[in-house]
A and B are shown apart, each in its own frame.
Chain A
């Protein structure tokens, strides 16, 4: 069991800033290398636990690479522990070597794109969750103040925050590569708003 169970706020902030943005890329990387008996979600949770329990993060110069190494070690540990090591799992081991191309820092989405993603995720929340989130995160009201404004109990505000957070956690897990990497292909002939002859362009 890791020594530190309730994680310091400083560590949470480090994780939010340095690790979270790379989660979608890590998930894609893991999905491309499936391991029998191990879900991507499991690896992610274990990896975060390891990062949370580190005695210090000051020495980590490349958090993205570090995250990938941690995830790799989680997978290897699972493979070693499995009583029956399947041929498929062993065959994938060399795939776990991290190539330099996985560590390009320029693949991280720019700041304004990240902010837009934040707004969109909030915008997709159900009505009351969204309201609670906006009041909490944009206006900085405490949960108690939100209860007063929305006319509901504090415990209900807490439930809205919990539900909204859970939804967002799930959506982040579904994200593919960072925004600028591989969106749904849009036909080259697509135009945006006004067209010369008024005719819409087909696929």
Chain B
């Protein structure tokens, strides 16, 4: 008999551990388990390990009442090399100096969270929803027995909302309210006082206060919407790569695919106080394509200067991009 690979044994052990966690076994299940453990000592060991790891997560119960505000002020640290995050780690490592502060903690029910300029923060809410705050953002969380409310006071968040039929999930941006049952989407309060919603998976409904010319709008996957006071919500279908482009900040990167240099410079200004100044509107209209580290604005400025044949002149607190061909 060929030796079983450890990974296969672990998967079987995890399945048995989950079954044991569910409740007492029937007679036939007990027989099957006895046969499985009798097959090899490695099966016994793998199951003991799986059950021990499962028990280890009873510590998670302690986290429910032990929110540690210090998780945010920890110095910049790398994420542990968990399987799904390895690719993300590679991207971050390629960027210049690591500045992202990533903390995951479970929160009590009513809470305000914020991030500083250049900070990224991911948090697990106690219903299982995953909330990520991008740079310079603030949310107020107010979970009750009948509903789950998040107020986006500032900035941009990504939500992966856990399904709970008893409690609808609402994000209030001050301009629009996003109603969800279970889905993945981002909400972004633009500086020009509009709210941009991007739906990645699932479905959300946008509701406005002025209902007369703003009926509720339903958005499905790969759809975006812009809402501004006084105008109806504008909905756009997004190609999948555009949805992806809008979420690159999760990896600490900014992706541009035809946005103007002026727009790109504004985007970079959200992530640090370094200023990229565009000397003339003509320079600002150049189209940018590429993937850049969000925390390296000077690198971005140098890169575009090179590709557009511009001069990057240092100024206090930043750089000014000038077209040398015109004065």
Q: Which residues of A contact B (CB under 8 A)?
A: 1-2, 5-7, 11-13, 15-16, 19-20, 39, 41-42, 44-53, 112, 114-124, 127, 130-140, 142-144, 149-151, 154, 157-159, 161-163, 165-172, 174-176, 179, 183-184, 186-187, 189-195, 197-203
* B residues in contact with A118, CB < 8 Å: 56-57, 59-60, 63
A63 to chain B, nearest CB (A): 12
From B14, B56, B82, give the contact of A162 (CB < 8 A). B14
Complex-state Cα separation, A174 to B11, whole angstroms: 16
Nearest chain B CB to A78's CB is how many angstroms away? 12
**B124 and A162 contacting across the interface, CB-CB below 8 Å:** no
CB neighbours (8 Å) of B18 from chain A are 158-159, 161-162, 165
Residues on the A chain within 8 Å of B296, using CB: 200, 202
Say which residue of A13, A174, A199, A201 sits within 8 Å of B82 (CB atoms): A174
Sample (10) of A-B pairs whose CB atoms are under 8 Å apart: A11-B48, A12-B55, A16-B55, A45-B6, A114-B59, A163-B14, A165-B53, A166-B50, A175-B81, A192-B76
- Nearest 5 pairs between A and B by C-beta? A49-B45, A41-B6, A198-B273, A131-B128, A48-B45
With A167-B83, A174-B81 as given contacts, are A48 and B46 in contact (CB-CB < 8 Å)?
Answer: yes
Those of B16-33 within 8 Å (CB) of chain A: 17-19, 21-23, 33
Chain B residue contacts of A6, Cβ below 8 A: 33-34, 37
In the complex, residue of chain A having the shortest beta-carbon distance to the beta carbon of B46: A45
* B306 contacts chain A at the CB level, 8 A cutoff: no
Given contacts A6-B33, A16-B56, A48-B48, contact A192 B101 (CB under 8 A): yes
B interface residues (Cβ-Cβ under 8 A, vs A): 6-7, 9-11, 13-15, 17-19, 21-23, 33-34, 37-38, 41-42, 44-64, 66, 68, 71, 75-85, 89, 93, 96-99, 101, 103-106, 116-119, 122, 124, 126-128, 130, 160, 162-166, 184, 272-275, 295-299, 316-318
